Structures are given as C-alpha cells and as structure tokens.
Structure 1
C-alpha cells in the first residue's frame, strides 16, 4: 500500500516539493504549494524581479571592477613609460646639485600623481558601488510595495 505524503493542513504533495528535478524551477515547484487566498504568482513575480535586480547589480559591480582594473593597467603602463624616461633624464650630465633638485622635483611630481591616481580609482569604485546599491535599494522598496499589495489582495474583505 502506497503511503500518502500529503500534508493534511495544506493541499500539496511534499514529495513533489522535494523533487530535485523541480528544485531549480521555482514556479513549477510553487505551483504545487497552494495556500488558499495567497497569490503565489504575485509572490513569484516579485521574487523574479528581485533576482533580476540582483543580477543587474552584480553586473554593474563586475563592470565597475573591470573599469578599475583597466585603469590600473593603464596607470601601470604610464608609470613604466615615465620611469624609463625619468631614468634617462637622471643619467644626463649635470652638476650634483642639479641632479638632486631634479630628483626632488620628480619625486614630488610622482607623489602628487600617485595621490591623484588613487583618488580617481577610489571614485571609480565608489561610483560602481553606488550604482549597484541604487539598483538594489530601489528594488527593495518596490518589492516591499509589491508584497504589501499581494498580501492586501489575499486578506479577506471585511
């Protein structure tokens, strides 16, 4: 005799809920989970939008990281080119005082450039983070409103 795995309180088959072939397909899995007065399609639609927003935020974060990495590579290339020309300048003939003054000027210029580059990279990271956070923040607000609407539709009218 086959056992009945149905939940006596809700009309859905627990074995179907745990079926690994349906695990990734939330809409099919939740279709078996029927609670009277609850708009499961509305809840699933909200969750789909949440996942889409998370995907968009992740994409923005990755694109921001890629932009930072490209800029870092460009900064490194420029630094190497400048280092090569700087070494040539340092080897040029001149008095020891001229070389010391030239060296001090170069160190100051490189320090200022390094600070500017770090500031630029920090701004790029902050911009990417803000864009991703804005997507998530607006989605959280919309999701809360959607859930309120879904819940109010399922509540019995008085």
Structure 2
C-alpha cells in the first residue's frame, strides 16, 4: 500500500474526485482552496505557539527577577538585624507595582497573539469568499 504524500495530503482525494467529472465543479480549484485553508490554519497555530512560547519566556524572566529581588531584600534585612523599616515597605510596594506592570505586559502579549491568529483566519475567510464569488462568476459564463 502506498504511503500518503505528506507534502500534499489532498493528492489521493483529488485524484479520486477527478475521476468523477462533475459538471460545474472545478475540482482542482476547490482542492487548491482547501489547501490554502489548511495553510492558514497551520500559520495561525504557529503564531499561537510562538506567542505561548514568548509568554512562557516572559513568565520565567519575571520569576527570575522577582526571586533575585527577594533574595536581595532578604539579604538586606538579615544584614541589618533590625525590624522592618519604611524602606522595606517601600521596596515591597515597588515590587508589587512592578509585578502588576509585568502582569499587564503578559496580558497584552496574550491579546496580541490572539489578534494575530484571528487576523490569519479572518484573511483566509475573506479569501474563501472571494474565491467562491470567482467560481460562481465562472459558472455563469
């Protein structure tokens, strides 16, 4: 049994449909449109995956930075041997503000990734509409 061609997963299906000559249906054009659909989905998935990788990297960077800051703060407190001061409270407040800003950046990164993935899909939907209009106009001629 022949193995399917990974580069053209629609090859066998196209050959089968071409055997049946259907009036008014341009099988190669239909199959080309479906191939483009798959390419758009692959591109959207790649964009989403890259966004998730970026998000994970930012989270790791934030964790590393926070741990470094806490280590520094702990070292300062233990070196002083005194009760926590207003400086300590300010450092904690600054750390919280920075964490909130980082969380906002993560939310923006996630939103951007979703917007880019949606744009790829929306573009392909628009192309499908144009291709369908073109096929219908060809049939009228």
TM value normalised by structure 1: 0.76
Q: For residues 132-153 of structure 1, what are the alpha-carbon distances to aligned partners after superposition, in whole Å with 9 as ceiling and x for unaligned?
A: 1111111100111101111221
| Counterpart in the other structure of 1:125 | 110
C-alpha RMSD of matched pairs (Å) = 2.2
| Counterpart in the other structure of 1:63 | 50
Contact 2:51 2:109 in 1 (8 A): yes
Name structure 2 gaps, 5 residues minimum. Answer: none
Q: C-alpha distance in 1, partners of 2:14/2:63?
A: 49
Q: For residues 33-85 of structure 1, what are the alpha-carbon distances to aligned partners after superposition, in whole Å with 9 as ceiling and x for unaligned?
A: 43212111111111111110111011000001001101111111111111111
Asked if 1:27 is matched to 2:51, the reply is no
| Counterpart in the other structure of 1:107 | 92
| Counterpart in the other structure of 1:54 | 41
Asked if 1:140 is matched to 2:90, the reply is no
Deviates most, 46-55 or 27-36: 27-36
Contact 1:43 1:150 in 2 (8 A): no
Name structure 1 gaps, 5 residues minimum. Answer: 1-20
Paired residues in the alignment total: 135
| Residues 116, 33 of structure 1: alpha-carbon distance in 2 compared, 3 angstrom cutoff | farther
Q: C-alpha distance in 2, partners of 1:128/1:91?
A: 43
| Counterpart in the other structure of 1:81 | 68
Q: Of the two structures, which has the highest relative contact order with CA contacts closer than 8 Å and spacing of 6 or more?
A: 2
